[in-house]
Amino acid sequence: MSAKPLKAIRVLDLTNVLAGPFCCHQLAHLGADVLKVEAPGRGDLARQLGMDEGLSDRNMGISFLVPNPGKRSMTLNLKSTEGKAILKKLVARADVLVENFRPGVMDRLGLGYDTLNAENPKIIYCAISGFGQNGPLKDRPAYDQIIQGVAGVMSITGDKDSAPQRAGWPVADTVGGLTAAMAICAALNGNERGAFIDVAMLDSLLATMGWAVSNLLVGGIEPVPAGNENLTSAPSATYQCADAPINIAANKQEQWEALADRLGLSTMKSDRRFKTRADRKANRVALNSEIAAALANDTAANWVQELNAAGVPAGPVLTVKQALNHPQFAQRDQIARFELDGRVVNVVRTGIHIDGNPLTVDQGPPELGSETESVLAQLGYGDAEIRQLRKEGTV
């Protein structure tokens, strides 16, 4: 592919923190020109978030750096009359606008979809929120952990003694952002441009819960926390070896039989408690006890190597640091490196390869308002007018 798929697309990113910025992060890497429109003085709240206080103090917090490479930034006060006028001019030239305010905020600003659609009937307007644009919870704050709790994710994370547990990363925000990016790409490919896209983090997260939800809806079986066990199969779980844990997923009959042979447990294949998948699920405690005893005789690395060679899916349980340093990840070239004040900043790319190449962007995350003057000049504002806009606090 000679050019990125969204190379000619202009996106206005009015979003904050993670769900919206992560959506536009995908679009930027796919080639879109993403202009981040931020509040004067403070910008995206994520600029002050992250575990490096030095970066947060200079308005480039780690939480901001991750989903914002490749974007441009301008500041604009959407509460001011002139600020609203400038946004309308930007919309007239744009293909996509993404916002993640609470439902109704843009309408109260006089910048809702109907208003902006009048400026540009082909605009694709994507509103990302916690609970969607309607429903009894639509006006509630949408923090990731709140969504995880309402979606039922926490109720089935952990085991019977530790649940409820939140996922170890903001899964609701990232899934919501990915869902929005997919919807936007679909709308851009429609026969006619122009759409209002309503993405709820709650809906998006529930949609990814697949079997857990379907087992309840279709089978009437309420999901329960299962820890590191796969409730749909056995043996399929995390097991402790002599030095570290590994995951084994012997979901097929032939995989179970190969596992039993390799562990010296061949007699278990004819044991009526373990003959079929249903039998093994019903007797998983006894099954796992035998497997764990056998695995305790060697190291995790050796077992992973030997089991995979025998046709049994197995893998190590790594820390995040170990995962990032793994040769498999390194060869995929998924770390982008930018310079910030003489310091090298590493962030993860999107995970997408096109024609054998990872998606990349040409520049790092933008300084707050770094493109304000150039954008205003493109809209026809002169130097004196821009100075006046700054004096008034519009930009």
Question: Treating both helix axes as pointing N-terminal to C-terminal, what angle do 171-188 and 19-29 enclose, rounded to 10 degrees?
Answer: 50
Contact 6, 352 (CB under 8 A): no
Q: How far is CA 271 from each of CA 20, 36, 281, 368, rounded to the nearest angstrom?
A: 54, 63, 14, 67
Produce one character per residue of 90-121: b if its CB has 16 or more CB atoms within 10 Å, e if not.
bbeebbbbbbbbbbeebeeeebbbebbbebbe
State yes or no: is 161 an active-site residue: no
Residue found under tokens 């690395």? 301
Closest CA to 199 of 218, 224, 173: 173
In the numeric block, which tokens belong to residue 19?
């769900």
> Rounded distance, CA 76 to CA 386, Å?
12
**Residues whose CB is less than 8 angstroms from the CB of residue 329 and which lie 6 or more positions away in sequence, other chains included:** 323
> Rounded distance, CA 74 to CA 37, Å?
5
Residue type, 149: G
Sheet of 314-316, strands arranged across: 236-240, 245-249, 314-316
> Rounded distance, CA 49 to CA 116, Å?
31
Using DSSP's 3-state secondary structure scheme, residue 264 falls into coil
Out of 173, 203, 243, 355, the active site residue is 173
Supply the residues annotated as catalytic.
173
